Amino acid sequence: MFTIVYPLFERGRIMKKELLLALRDYSFGFTRLQFGDWTDGIVSGCDITVTDTRLTVGPGILKFNNFVYMMTEPQHILYEPTERTAVVKIRFSTSAAAVDYVGHQGKIALDSETALGENELEICRFKLKQGSRLRCDYIGFEDIQTEYDTVNLAHATWAGIERPGIAIPILRQFAREALQCYLAEPWDVTFCGQCMSGETVHRSVVEAYAEAHGEYVSRTESNADMFYVLERILRKLKANARRPQNAGRRKMSISVE
């Protein structure tokens, strides 16, 4: 048997210790149960926007070291053109236990070191030239990995069930362009549908899809490597004929006697 205690917030009632513990256990217990088998990384959200001098990481959910972080406020960081790779990271730390609480912090940072420390996740990276403008609006799928002046999501640390995930915006952009092609195979449409849903696609599904297109993928491929695999597949799809104007329409013949 199990019991869920639901506190009644009414005037004149005193919040007992047991009710406060119930609130704590339910809120933290729920997220740990929901994301228990996920890897560390971005679970959802964390959309990137940029201005002339500031990069903003939007609200989102992140997991690190078995703790789920709800980032409810946008995080801002200033940048400048250096013509060197700059990596936007989230650094996590835990403050010493106080009398009333233990603090788990996440702080946005801009670093020239591409390798991740034990307490870091990558959000994005870029390399900005002098006199250029940083942008996060992509002309096409391959533009995501443009070397200069573009927010690059291909190396971002995305969470996934059992294995690391691939950035949802990357998969959505792939599907958006693939659906403009004539997709003769049903599994192409099915995969694109999963990518467009905005949900994390299990890495084994992405790998199986790549292999169906003749791409050999090992389990040790990095996210950046998987981006190039998807780029090659998209290039093949685009090489096929564009969707015919009358695709999906049935032809009817009428005989006149």
pLDDT tens digit sequence for 161-187: 999 999 999 999 999 999 998 888 899
Tokens of 200: 């994390």
Dihedral through CA 199, CA 205, CA 207, CA 209, nearest 10?
-100
Domain boundary among 88, 114, 145: 145
| Per-residue confidence band for 3, with pLDDT thresholds at 50, 70 and 90 | low
Q: Tell me, yes or no, whether 106 lies in a domain.
A: yes
Which of 111, 145, 179 is the endpoint of a domain? 145
- SS3 assignment for 103-133: CEEEEEEEECCCCCCCCEEEEEEEECCCCCC
In a domain? residue 63: yes
Does the pLDDT at position 88 exceed 90?
yes
Mean pLDDT is lowest, of 67-71, 79-83, 97-101, 224-228, for 97-101
In a domain, 46, yes or no: yes
Say what the pTM is.
Answer: 0.82
Domain limits for position 57: 41-145
Task: Please report, rounded to a whole number, the percentage of residues in the chain having pLDDT higher than 90.
Answer: 64
State the DSSP H helix or E strand holding residue 32, giving kind and residue range, or none if neither.
helix 17-34
pLDDT at 196 over 90: yes
Q: Which two tokens stand for residue 38?
A: 């996920």
Task: Please check whether residues 72 and 119 belong to one and the same domain.
Answer: yes
pLDDT of residue 128 exceeding 80: yes
- Is residue 64 situated within a structural domain? yes
Q: Residue holding tokens 């992140």?
A: 62
Tell me the pLDDT band of 116, cut-offs 50, 70 and 90: very high
Strand partners, 62: 42, 69
Q: Average of pLDDT values for 83-112?
A: 84
Answer yes or no: is pLDDT of 235 > 90: yes
Please give the share of the chain, as a percent, with pLDDT higher than 70: 80
Give 38: exposed, middle or buried? Use CB within 10 Å, 0-12, 13-18, 19+: buried
The mean per-residue pLDDT over the stretch 47-54 comes to 94
Does residue 29 fall inside a structural domain? Answer: no
Q: 139 and 51, same structural domain?
A: yes
240 pLDDT band, cuts 50/70/90, is confident
Average pLDDT over residues 215-231: 91
Predicted pLDDT of residue 257: 46
Note whether residue 3 is domain-resident: no
Q: What pLDDT, on a 0 to 100 scale, did the predictor assign at position 246?
A: 53
pLDDT at 254: 47
Q: Please determine, for residue 14, whether its predicted confidence score (pLDDT) is greater than 90.
A: no
Q: Look at residue 218 in the predicted model and tell me its pLDDT.
A: 84
Interval 11-19 mean pLDDT: 68
Average pLDDT for the chain: 85
Number of domains the chain is built from? 2
Q: Hey, which bits of 140-180 come out as E strands? A: none
Q: How far apart are CA 177 and CA 189, in angstroms?
A: 12
β partners of residue 55: 50, 77
**Contact between 84 and 103 (Cβ < 8 Å):** no
